[in-house]
């Protein structure tokens, strides 16, 4: 067989009788390489086709927010069922919008963790079946790594090394991206994620789910200095803790209610947000200073926050650093970011076997298998 560029698949049979596919990739960075990606780690069923890790040809997202809003947060069992209903339509739509067929695809990338196990399993099983039936290589992608890669389509000129703040509903990390696939976690949350804290405070203020965008909007009408909520620092590293600020807000609101006094929701939203943003910005800029890095990125749902963007810009500019963040649609969960990460995994020849499983609490840098 003489193949210069492209992927091909050898189907092998083990002594045990188990059939598995071994994928071989021979590529060049200059050729057009289409990755089909699938993301189903939480409450968005998403599929996308991306060319060579930068150019988005399609990015389909089917959100379940309307259903989960009724319950004030994501219900895992409902999420899995809704993914099952949507996934084949979403993948079909991603191929159609990109104007390509399955045989044009070089690899299928899929989020294999972290996330809700039942939700992840829908995407992983679908991707495995598609890979097996089509002979197209399968690539597992770490969800947090995917968020970091969400920066590249918006900023095609961006290259590592850089420091990236990943803040979403499930995680808050300060990551040093030394190279495309080399990451060092410099700080992480010890309790709630930043987005989770936003969602919980929104619930206390009866703003609904998801709380981040609602607090972001309400905070614009409030005074961020009306209350001073705690900002937690750790001496030994750049870890975060948001449970203290959450409890402080909760206590304040209950106290006022017990006294029969009115609460000013806008002032609370603005003061809470200021505390969270202060600590996110401080730790990210400190990480960049420690690594002597002049490029700072943001990723994850919270990276859409208007005050975070404003304050991060002010502080990075003060230190002569350049700031990047994805357009809003690439901040929240989507499959285009997974396709971008999948492209670099493909270039590095990192494929998955068909025994790939969902790993709900895998750490960044650990191998998905
Ligand atoms: O990345 P993402 O879509 O999903 C996870 O991987 O978790 O992030 C969702 C989180 C939610 O907690 C949501 O409230 C928060 O991101 N979020 C925001 C904003 N937009 C979304 N938080 C603060 N300000 C926003 N504008
Ligand atoms: Zn996410």
Rounded to 5 degrees, φ, ψ at 331 are -85, -45
How far, in Å, from the CA of 345 to the mean position of ligand 2? 19
pLDDT above 60 for 8:
no
* pLDDT at residue number 5: 43
pLDDT above 60 for 30:
no
**CA separation for the pair 45, 79 (Å, rounded):** 9
**pLDDT digit string, tens, across residues 48-76:** 999 999 999 999 999 888 888 888 888 99
**pLDDT digit string, tens, across residues 253-309:** 999 999 999 999 999 999 999 999 999 999 999 999 999 999 999 999 999 999 999
**pLDDT digit string, tens, across residues 99-144:** 999 999 999 999 999 999 999 999 999 999 999 999 999 999 999 9
* CA of 308, nearest ligand number: 1
**CA separation for the pair 151, 356 (Å, rounded):** 27
Mean of the per-residue pLDDT values for the chain? 92
pLDDT above 90 for 17:
no
pLDDT above 80 for 27:
no
* pLDDT at residue number 140: 97
The residue whose CB lies within 8 Å of the most ligand 1 atoms, and thus the one to mutate among 72, 151, 168, 335, is 168
* CA of 213, nearest ligand number: 1
* pLDDT at residue number 29: 52
* pLDDT at residue number 16: 47
Beta bridge partners of 179: 182
Residue nearest to atom 14 of ligand 1 (CA): 212
**CA separation for the pair 211, 230 (Å, rounded):** 20
**pLDDT digit string, tens, across residues 193-241:** 999 999 999 999 999 888 999 999 999 999 999 999 999 999 999 999 9
* pLDDT at residue number 71: 84
pLDDT above 70 for 11:
no
| CA distances in angstroms from 247 to 231, 262, 282, 351, listed in the order given | 12, 19, 21, 44
* pLDDT at residue number 72: 80
Asked whether 357 and 112 are in contact (CB, 8 A), the reply is yes
Domain boundaries of the chain, sorted by first residue: 6-150+332-347, 157-325
| CA distances in angstroms from 167 to 147, 172, 175, 241, 308, listed in the order given | 9, 4, 11, 13, 11
* pLDDT at residue number 25: 56
Rounded to 5 degrees, φ, ψ at 293 are -110, 140
Question: What's the CATH class of domain 6-150+332-347?
Answer: alpha beta
How far, in Å, from the CA of 171 to the mean position of ligand 2? 8
How far, in Å, from the CA of 279 to the mean position of ligand 1? 17
Q: Could you give the angle at which helices 306-318 and 265-290 cross, rounded to 10 degrees?
A: 40
Question: CA nearest 281: which of 185, 160, 174, 188?
Answer: 174
First to last CA, the chain: 29
* pLDDT at residue number 4: 37
Predicted model pTM: 0.91
pLDDT above 50 for 3:
no
Residue nearest to atom 22 of ligand 1 (CA): 212
Instruction: Average the pLDDT over 137-162 and give the result.
Output: 97
Fold observed for domain 157-325: Nucleotidyltransferase; domain 5 (3.30.420)
| Residues contacting ligand 1 via CB (< 6 Å) | 42, 168-170, 195-196, 198-199, 210-213, 216, 300-302, 304-305, 332-333
**β-bridge pairing 182-188 and 172-179:** antiparallel
* pLDDT at residue number 43: 87
Task: Name which residue leads in pLDDT, 346 or 17.
Answer: 346
Instruction: Average the pLDDT over 38-42 and give the result.
Output: 95
How far, in Å, from the CA of 275 to the mean position of ligand 2? 22
């Amino acid at each position: 067989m003489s193949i210069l560029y492209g992927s091909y698949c050898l189907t092998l049979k083990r002594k045990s009788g188990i059939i598995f596919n071994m994928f071989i990739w021979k590529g060049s960075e200059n050729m057009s390489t289409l990755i089909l990606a699938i993301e189903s780690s939480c409450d968005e069923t998403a599929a996308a086709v991306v060319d060579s890790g930068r150019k988005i040809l399609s990015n389909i997202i089917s959100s379940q927010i309307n259903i989960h809003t009724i319950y004030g947060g994501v219900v895992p069992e409902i999420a899995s069922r809704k993914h099952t209903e949507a996934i084949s339509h979403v993948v079909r739509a991603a191929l159609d919008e990109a104007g390509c067929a399955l045989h044009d695809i070089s690899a299928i990338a899929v989020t294999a963790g972290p996330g809700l196990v039942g939700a992840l399993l829908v995407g992983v099983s679908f991707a495995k079946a598609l890979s097996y039936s089509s002979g197209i290589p399968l690539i597992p992608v770490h969800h947090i790594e995917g968020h970091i890669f969400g920066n590249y389509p918006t900023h095609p000129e961006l290259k590592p090394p850089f420091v990236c703040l990943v803040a979403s509903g499930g995680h808050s990390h300060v990551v040093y991206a030394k190279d495309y696939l080399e990451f060092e976690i410099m700080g992480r949350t010890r309790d709630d994620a930043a987005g989770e804290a936003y969602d919980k405070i929104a619930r206390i203020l009866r703003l609904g789910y998801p709380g981040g965008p609602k607090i972001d909007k309400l905070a614009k009408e409030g005074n961020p200095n009306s209350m001073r909520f705690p900002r937690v620092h750790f001496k030994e590293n750049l870890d975060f803790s948001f449970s203290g600020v959450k409890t402080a807000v909760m206590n304040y609101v209950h106290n006022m209610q017990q006294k029969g006094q009115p609460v000013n929701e806008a002032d609370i939203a603005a003061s809470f947000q200021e505390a969270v943003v202060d600590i996110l910005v401080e730790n990210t800029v400190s990480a960049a200073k420690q690594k002597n890095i002049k490029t700072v990125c943001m990723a994850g749902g919270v990276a859409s926050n208007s005050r975070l963007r404003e304050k991060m810009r002010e502080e990075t500019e003060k230190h002569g650093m350049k700031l990047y963040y994805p357009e809003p649609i690439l901040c929240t969960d989507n499959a285009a970011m997974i396709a971008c990460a999948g492209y670099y995994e493909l270039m590095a020849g990192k494929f998955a076997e068909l025994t790939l499983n969902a790993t709900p609490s895998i750490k960044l840098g650990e191998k998905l298998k």
